[in-house]
Amino acid sequence: MENLKGLKVAILVDDGFEEVELVQPRTALDRAGAETRIVSPKGDPVRGWAFTDWGGYFPIDVALSEAKPSDFDALLLPGGVLNPDRLRVQPAAVEFVKSFFDAGKPVAAICHGPWTIIEAGAARGRRIASWPSLKTDLRNAGAEWVDEEAVVDGNLVSSRKPDDIPAFNRKMIGLFSRSRQQTVQAG
């Protein structure tokens, strides 16, 4: 397991995020030593989606209105249909995501999470895996949609669905670790 001790990861969500796409990657990051924080434009708490119905409530750690991208080293974008659909129409959420790409920081997105990446203007020219219903949206945004369990393209790792979470976690931790090493070497 890569050592991510001290790496600060923002997890951007709104109501309707796919619960396992937050919980399992967050657990993997925490076990690797990262410091994860749930960031949300919604008031506390946010509510997950458990496959076919509403899931549990999760406390937010930082309100989006108070979150500074410079305080984080990486970004995780869980999917679920409702969550990224809500995020992509909120300018502050889109700008938060865009700032990670502008700074060259690593981003991990699963399932419907790439919707927010499209809105942030960061999909063009990238290979991106997602839930199949985003294929046309990604292609229209200039990305190459790929049907693979986990894909790394530069500073972005993406994945299709909850079944892919083990592969997604491995690739995400690897990307975050490599990015951290490059930052340390550059500093």
Which residue in 83, 34, 80, 44 sits closest to 65, CA to CA? 44
Report phi then psi at 156, rounded to 5: -120, 130
**Helix or strand holding residue 145 (H, E):** strand 144-146
Annotation says 112 is catalytic: yes
Do you find a cis peptide bond into 45, omega within 30 degrees of 0? yes
Of the residues 112, 161, 171, 180, which is catalytic? 112
Query: What are the counts of helices (DSSP H) followed by strands (DSSP E) for the chain?
Result: 6, 12
- Residues with active-site annotation: 112
